[in-house]
Amino acid sequence: MATSTGEYQVLARKWRPQTFAQVVGQQHVLQALSNALTHQRLHHAYLLTGTRGVGKTTIARILAKSLNCEQGISATPCGQCDTCLEIDQGRYVDLLEIDAASRTKVEDTRELLDNVQYRPTRGRYKVYLIDEVHMLSRHSFNALLKTLEEPPEHVKFLLATTDPEKLPVTVLSRCLQFHLRALTREEISQQLAHILSAESLPFEPAALTLLARAARGSMRDALSLTDQAIAQGNQQVGLDSVRDMLGHIEGRQVLGLLQLIVNADAAGTLQALRDMQDKVSDISVVLPELQNALHQIALLQVSEAFADTDIFKDMPQLQSLAVQIMPEYVQVLYRMVLEGRRELPHGIDAYTAVEMTLLRMLAFQPQDQVTSALEDAQARVDVEQANPAQPSNQAETAPSQAVHSKPEAPAQAESTDKVEPAKLVEEAVQQPEQPQQQQQASSTEPEVATQAQSQPQTKPEPNVDFYPEYDEDDDYISPEDMQALAQEQDSIMQQAASQMPQAHAQELAQPERAQPEPLPQRSQPQPASQQQTPPAASTDLERILATREALLAKKKAPLTPDTRSAAEVDSWSASIDNMQASGRLRQVLLNSRMRREGEGYQLVIDQGQQVMCTPQALQSIEALVRQLIGDAALEISFAEVQHTPYMIQQAIDHYRAEHAMQRVKTHPVIQHLVQRFDATLDESSVKIN
């Protein structure tokens, strides 16, 4: 990178294009100029506009060489004649380069125009290249107008500006205007790779991506940053050195911070921000890094082909976030970060402004994540208050018992007025009553226990009765069914007790007769000691309990004002709660139904959710459903679905709202106020708990 005289030459000057073919991008401008030169249909004034460093002055100089090349007018000047060499060196007498920013006075403009009438000294044309022409004063423009409109045939004007809005309309109308666009990151990265390869300097492609981002479409800025990166990295361009130079944060740290925000971990988020403060020169760069991460997540949710994820080393985590976060929530977070960047100048300091932006992002959480966080907190309190001496073998034997929580209303704009709530609940929902029993049996002989221990354990069958079929005739469980069920259960229990180890058999006793249970209320999370199934539970025992649950589920649950969640009256809703799905996965499941198809199952998803079901999302949904059905065949399809958990929840909410309104209207005090004072009830003010 040194000249023949041993002087250092910066990359921006050394690699300035000398022909149209070497210009990066701007093909729409180069094509028009090349055609005009080839056919010699030349205008007397050209105006080149665009942001800094995109090639305005460079193209103007190449155009000047094309006009005055000794080999003739063409789009490909030879670059070897004296005229081309002198123009490249900036000392050609018939090329007058004028910096309008330093010569704004009208006297300077008139001095230039006085020499317009004289013919060029050596070349065909006298070329006036006026850079930053918008800086001229109003009087200077007025002095230029007449000459610009009817110049001598041997004069060409090449005007360049970054702000064409400041030019008078009279000037714009006298020029051929070409707008040079900002270069893309790919174009800048490819050109930097070409230059560094020619300079024999090692580099990392991810580092060039960062430099292209920082250049913001300017090739000159990218080359200047590359010079700085070479000095920073000791004659090489590495990702870590470029990140330190630009003050960027490692992609893994940005994704970790975003994961903490999505998980509503306020303490972890604030601690991560404090840790970043010591690693970056300007803490405000956290916001643009978050903004870029959210942008890439939004692109991943649409299509991976459009995402630019080279700067993120932890690609699986980025894809995981794209699945976890709902597209609507991504837009909300992006808007918050954008507003945070706008508020930076008004903050007490940069750290405070960034911290408040993160706190705002934590405050706005999807409803299902807030509910899950509250339930987790309540579960921790229950565990702390539980009796530590409680035996661990008193476990729940119903594998499908759900910790019910009210599902959120998805962002989908879906009208529920078309479905009658009473009819929907009466015909479409069933009560997944899941009794909890503590199985006990009499003691067995040691020889039997030894034999049972030597037998391999049978893999439990999946709970296939989480979605029982509807039966309009079975409105209740008859005493005969209950008696038959109890007798079969006694037989199975005796057989299981004879095969269980003595240590477990001593803790078992004769089970009580199963009775129809009332509508289950919202159950509280159980301590961890009560959520483990005894290791010696037999497959037959699980099968009879599952059969009992299926029989009990046929008893239809009456809709009462105390019913708050769809999980209390619908087994598929309860199963979704057990899956612990969140974000858009939960939204898709809430708009679906599970059907039994022969030996397998069919998950029918509402066709309105198909746009959200990317291949990654479908894989995650299948993994969640597999927790219920095991290795059974599963087919996922899209169609119009009725009686989804979302519709059932909407019907419950509508029923409770009508019930609450009726109670308010029939209240004696309200009726007295209406009759005595001719009062009117504001129905919009009635809220349900």
In degrees rounded to 5, what are phi and psi of residue 639? -165, 175
- pLDDT value of residue 380: 54
Q: Report the chain (689 residues): mean pLDDT per 10 consecutive residues.
A: 61 92 92 93 93 92 93 90 91 89 78 85 91 88 85 92 91 92 93 94 91 92 94 89 85 89 92 87 90 91 77 76 90 95 91 94 76 53 50 39 40 41 40 38 39 41 40 41 51 50 41 40 41 41 44 50 81 83 86 87 88 85 86 88 87 86 87 84 78
Residue 261's nearest CA partner among 272, 269, 253, 273 is 269
For 163-242, strand residue ranges (E) read 176-180
Q: Each residue of 295-348: pLDDT tens digit? A: 989 998 888 777 776 666 667 888 888 888 999 999 999 999 999 999 999 988
Q: Which two tokens stand for residue 205?
A: 């492609």
Beta strand pairing call for 600-606 and 592-597: antiparallel
d(CA 500, CA 532): 17
**CA–CA separation, 83 and 98 (whole Å):** 19
| Shared-domain flag, residues 210 and 311 | no
**45 & 176 share domain:** yes
Q: Rounded to whole angstroms, how far apart are CA atoms 491 and 486?
A: 9
Considering the domain architecture, whether residues 141 and 237 belong to the same structural domain is answered as: no
CATH of the domain at 195: 1.10.8.60
Strands 95-99 and 45-50: unpaired
Longest dimension (CA), the chain: 123
Q: Does 106 lie in the same domain as 31?
A: yes
Task: Specify whether 171 is located in the same domain as 109.
Answer: yes
Query: What is the pLDDT, as a whole number, of residue 607?
Result: 85
Last residue of a domain, one of 180, 209, 234: 180
Looking at the structure, tell me whether residues 128 and 195 fall in a common domain: no
619 located within any domain? no
Contacts of 575 by beta carbon, 8 Å cutoff, 6+ apart: 400, 402, 466, 467, 594, 628
Residues 359 and 486 grouped into a single domain: no
**Angle, CA of 674, 677 and 680, to the nearest 5°:** 45
For residues 334 and 133, give the distance between their C-alpha atoms in angstroms, rounded to a whole number: 38
In a domain, 605, yes or no: no
CA dist., res. 596 & res. 466, Å (int)? 10
How many Cα atoms are found within 13 Å in the side-chain-facing hemisphere of 244? 11
Q: Tell me which residue of 622, 567, 643 sits closest to 401, measured CA to CA.
A: 567
How many Cα atoms are found within 13 Å in the side-chain-facing hemisphere of 573? 27
Residue where one domain finishes, among candidates 492, 524, 556: 556
Identity of residue 528? A
Q: Are residues 113 and 24 in the same domain?
A: yes
> Are 367 and 408 in contact, with CB atoms under 8 Å apart?
yes
Instruction: Give the whole-angstrom CA distance, residue 581 versus residue 588.
Output: 10
Helix, strand, or coil (residue 426): helix
CA atoms within 13 A on the CB side of 364: 16
pLDDT of residue 66: 93
The answer for residues whose C-beta is within 8 angstroms of residue 267's C-beta and 6 or more apart is: none
Tally of domains within the chain: 4
Q: Are 594 and 603 in contact (CB under 8 A)?
A: yes
Task: Using DSSP, state whether 235 is helix, strand or coil.
Answer: coil
For residue 248, what pLDDT is reported?
Answer: 81
Cα separations in angstroms, 147 against 40, 73, 275, 359: 22, 24, 63, 61
Q: What is the pTM of this model?
A: 0.52
Q: What is the pLDDT of residue 578?
A: 82
Q: ∠ CA(534), CA(536), CA(537), 5° rounding? A: 75
The percent of the chain in helix, strand and coil, each rounded to the nearest 5, is 55, 10, 40
Structural domain contains residue 669? no
Does the residue 258 lie in any domain? yes
Nearest alpha carbon to residue 538 among 484, 510, 497, 508: 497
Asked if residue 396 belongs to a domain, the reply is no
Contact (CB, 8 A) for 583 and 323: yes
Q: Does one domain contain both 236 and 280?
A: no
Residues 98, 220 within the same domain: no
Asked whether residue 65 is domain-assigned, the answer is yes
Domain of 134: which CATH number? Answer: 3.40.50.300
**CA separation (Å) from 367 to 372, 406, 587?**
9, 10, 11
502 close to 444: Cβ distance less than 8 angstroms:
yes
In a domain, 492, yes or no: yes
CATH number of the domain within which 272 lies: 1.20.272.10
Same domain, 158 and 220: no
What Å distances lie between residue 314 and 240, 252, 272, 277, 563, CA to CA?
A: 15, 6, 17, 22, 45
Query: What does residue 105 show for φ and ψ, rounded to 5 degrees?
Result: -75, 150
* Strand, coil or helix: 161: strand
Does the residue 547 lie in any domain?
Answer: yes
Closest by Cα among 185, 168, 201, 210 to 25: 185
- At which of 153, 180, 207 does a domain end? 180
Range of the domain at 548: 430-448+461-509+537-556
Q: Give the model's pLDDT for residue 510.
A: 40
Beta bridge partners of 130: 98, 159
pLDDT at 577: 83
Among 391, 503, 478, which residue's Cα sits nearest to residue 438? 391
Do 176 and 238 reside in the same domain of the chain? no
